[in-house]
Amino acid sequence: MTIRCKAAVLRAIGAPRPYARSTPLSIEEITLAPPKPVELLVRIAGAGLCHSDLSVINGDRPRPVPLALGHEGSGEVVEVGSAIDDVRAGDHVVFQFSASCGRCRRCLEGRPQVCERARAPKSAGELMAGGSRITSLNGERIGHHGGVSCMSEYVVVDRGTVVVVDKDIPLADAALFGCAVMTGVGAVINTARIRPGDSVAILGLGGVGLSGVLGARLAGAETIIAIDREPARLEVALSVGATHAVCARDADCVEQVRDLTGGGVDYAFELSGGADAMATAYGVVQYGGTVVICGLPPATSSFSINQCDLVGQEKSIRGSYMGSCVPVRDIPRFMRLYQEGRLPVNRLIDGYIGFDEVNAGFDKLQDVKAIRQILTPHGI
């Protein structure tokens, strides 16, 4: 069925701060076309405000506009496409922001997060079957953000974008598992495969970075060093499992980590997307250590390393997208750990907001006054 609903639409990137005044996101009535045979209509329960959304708003990672924003979310299935037989109306789902075809080389080797066929439509603001299902009331095409666009009352998404989850978990809170938890915990457990006794440094303590701290604690890391520029976030990291905290503003930040660990950590996770943080991450790993890059930097960002040092010390640098997760396997697994009290990601939620608070919410995110705010389009 065709749906008319409310959504947060980005029409121009690079708006001046504060966003509460410039309102880069306009709250508009939109129309959703009916789902195609391999698509679903979902009623949104929660949508997390994430730095990946912010990087589109501020132009660090530009996307074609107009764009219905939001990639980390959860909801209840309303309508199921005719070719889908494993999801039903009424199912609770969490979105994962990279649909996969299940047939390309990367999907077949168990790496759906880097599906070869998903990149082009996602970059163009389209779904896998082609085109957008979102239009303004005057018929103007509006793009999908990450194939999701969950800062809306309803969305139409690809079957491969949703993971059916347990109905016992508060559905709005479940939104975090689609990005922050999957990326942060996954980087530690899947990409690096941390073992009990390892030492790690986590750089950048937003929702993803703090999820990384939780993941490192879960994996049994002996030393977990949290690094950030903001003292308040360092305090949060210590409260959720970090063993040490180092302020990134300190001129001797790298030396402090080396002193704490007798030469450096086994693994350093860069989760902020900043070039300075990348240099720090490389500096704090010991001989034979590994840097795992998870934070998405501005599209033009680059960094340099000393090649002799890389070879002579046998260091490694690895990228980690979506925590190297297989979402249908890992999201339910991480949610079970949450239910058991072993992955308390609810401690990262600052509060719940409505559409009228979205622009100001991104000011709070930019100003490091919030970790995760959840937009609840229909209320709690």
* 86 within domain boundaries: yes
* 49 within domain boundaries: yes
Give percent of the chain with pLDDT exceeding 90. Answer: 85
Q: Are 239 and 217 in contact (CB under 8 A)?
A: no
Same-domain status, 229 and 164: no
Same-domain status, 211 and 72: no
Give the pLDDT confidence score for residue 310 in this predicted structure.
86
Same-domain status, 170 and 256: no
Give the pLDDT confidence score for residue 88 in this predicted structure.
98
When pLDDT is cut at 50, 70 and 90, the band that residue 233 belongs to is very high
Average per-residue pLDDT for the chain: 95
N-terminal to C-terminal alpha carbon distance within the chain: 25
Give the predicted TM-score (pTM) of the model. Answer: 0.94
Give the pLDDT confidence score for residue 344 in this predicted structure.
96
* 331 within domain boundaries: no
Same-domain status, 160 and 209: no
* 143 within domain boundaries: yes
Same-domain status, 314 and 348: no
Per-residue pLDDT at 1 exceeds 80: no
pLDDT tens-digit readout, 278-323: 899 999 999 999 999 998 777 777 888 888 888 888 999 999 999 9
Give the pLDDT confidence score for residue 222 in this predicted structure.
97
DSSP code, position 178: G
* 30 within domain boundaries: yes
- Segment 75-101 shows an average pLDDT of 95
Same-domain status, 41 and 142: yes
Same-domain status, 157 and 58: yes
- Segment 219-239 shows an average pLDDT of 97
Q: Are 40 and 90 in contact (CB under 8 A)?
A: no
Q: Are 302 and 281 in contact (CB under 8 A)?
A: no
Per-residue pLDDT at 259 exceeds 90: yes
- Segment 27-43 shows an average pLDDT of 97
Same-domain status, 207 and 287: yes
When pLDDT is cut at 50, 70 and 90, the band that residue 380 belongs to is confident
* 79 within domain boundaries: yes
Give the pLDDT confidence score for residue 273 in this predicted structure.
80
* 37 within domain boundaries: yes
CATH number of residue 188's parent domain: 3.40.50.720
Give the pLDDT confidence score for residue 113 in this predicted structure.
85
* 327 within domain boundaries: no
Domain that holds residue 67: 3-178+344-375
- Segment 210-222 shows an average pLDDT of 97
Spatial CA neighbour of 334 closest among 150, 233, 159, 190: 190
Give the pLDDT confidence score for residue 116 in this predicted structure.
87
- Segment 185-212 shows an average pLDDT of 97
Please, what sign has the CA dihedral across residues 230, 346, 266, 309? negative
Same-domain status, 366 and 293: no
Number of structural domains in the chain: 2
Same-domain status, 28 and 164: yes
CATH number of residue 27's parent domain: 3.90.180.10
Give the pLDDT confidence score for residue 252 in this predicted structure.
97
- Which two three-digit tokens encode residue 141? 């095409």
- Segment 358-366 shows an average pLDDT of 97
Same-domain status, 57 and 194: no
Same-domain status, 38 and 87: yes
Give the pLDDT confidence score for residue 297 in this predicted structure.
77
Q: What are phi and psi of 157, to 5 degrees?
A: -135, 160
